[in-house]
Amino acid sequence: MATFQPRGGKWRAIVRRKGFPSQTRTFPTKTAAKTWADRVERELAEREATGATAEDNATIGDLIDWRTRELGSAKAISKTQTGNMTRLREGIGDIVARKLTANDVIAHARRRVGGTHMRLDGVVIPACAPATMNVELGFLSEVLKLAGPMRGLRLQGDPVAEARPVLRLLKLVGKSKKRDRRPTQEELDRLRAYYTERAWRMQLPMADIVDFAVATAKRESEITRLLWSDVDEKNRTALLRDAKHPRKKEGNHKRFPLLGDAWTIVQRQARADGDDRIFPFNPSSVGAAFTRACKDLRIDDLHFHDLRHEATSRLFEQGYDIPEVAAVTLHESWNELKRYTQLRPESLHRVRENPATI
């Protein structure tokens, strides 16, 4: 039976039927919500009439919800994975998983990479890059592989693997492009002045956060989870808990030095009551504040993550060697570290002419 709920000027439809997982979707009008609910109810009735089980008729959306709900604690779900699963649910969430074909996967990729499209609830989804599509399909493949042995889902082959040769030929999937954008000193000065001028009305100490990122090569999410209790004042180091790792994140705690201005910046942060974090803020708010400032200042194509490139490159330009730089950035190999290294040619003159001062 379908129920309908008004939500901020829109209507949310909820369809429940015994033996099947409930389905929900939001629409701009109640009429559209009823149309969708009627269709879903008819489909569920047909499934029940043929004797199909919920597993045989689980949709991609059902599997994504199951993956998030049942396995979230056993296998951590990152922000990136959550976003990609949302795009999958929007694009092919209504398709019955055991009926998913390579053609469905290709069509989804063409919609996502080919340009923007609008969901039924009016939200515009921007186009994605082939590298993003590659990651998104990796998550889809993971969900399908988990659902086979864990839920008894009977799949007809591997639609993602079958689609990949065509996707590569059409250039709908690919490797990420190496980014080499570094902020100039003039851009950093403008950002600092922008934040200082607005400090009285901003809850975020963005000037300090930007300078700290440049000094430590840390991401927004890493900066905002550093703890006072993990700071070693004697050795001027801090512990980063659950450092990013392709295979092991939980429990991957690493200590790094607070070089130069980083130590001074930490010492002047106010301690929040009941919160042990040095920078007790939402990382999304930090990213949004940075993007907004770049837009207001007309600084083109600069991301907060580019500060990590800047920090890494500065360390090399100051004369630190690979192991020393890795001790700050927490990279485990040169192959990973070199992606963040974009040396300015003119900096090499200083090293050559007077290496003792570096």
Closest CA to 19 of 50, 39, 210, 3: 50
- Give the span between the Cα atoms of 287 and 11, in whole angstroms: 31
Q: Which of 69, 154, 249, 271 is an active site residue?
A: 249
Residue 339 catalytic? Answer: no
Residue 340 catalytic? Answer: yes
Residue 219 catalytic? Answer: yes
Q: DSSP string of 308-327?
A: HHHHHHHHHHTT--HHHHHH
Q: Which of 305, 338, 339, 350 is an active site residue?
A: 305
Residue 300 DSSP label: T
Q: Which of 47, 108, 309, 340 is an active site residue?
A: 340
Residue 305 catalytic? Answer: yes
End-to-end Cα separation, the chain, in angstroms: 72
CB count in 10 Å sphere of residue 252:
15
- Give the span between the Cα atoms of 132 and 91, in whole angstroms: 15
Asked whether 314 and 214 are in contact (CB, 8 A), the reply is: yes
- Give the span between the Cα atoms of 23 and 175, in whole angstroms: 35
Q: Which of 17, 218, 219, 314 is an active site residue?
A: 219
Residue 249 catalytic? Answer: yes
Residue 245 catalytic? Answer: no
Which sequence positions are flagged as catalytic? 219, 249, 305, 308, 331, 340
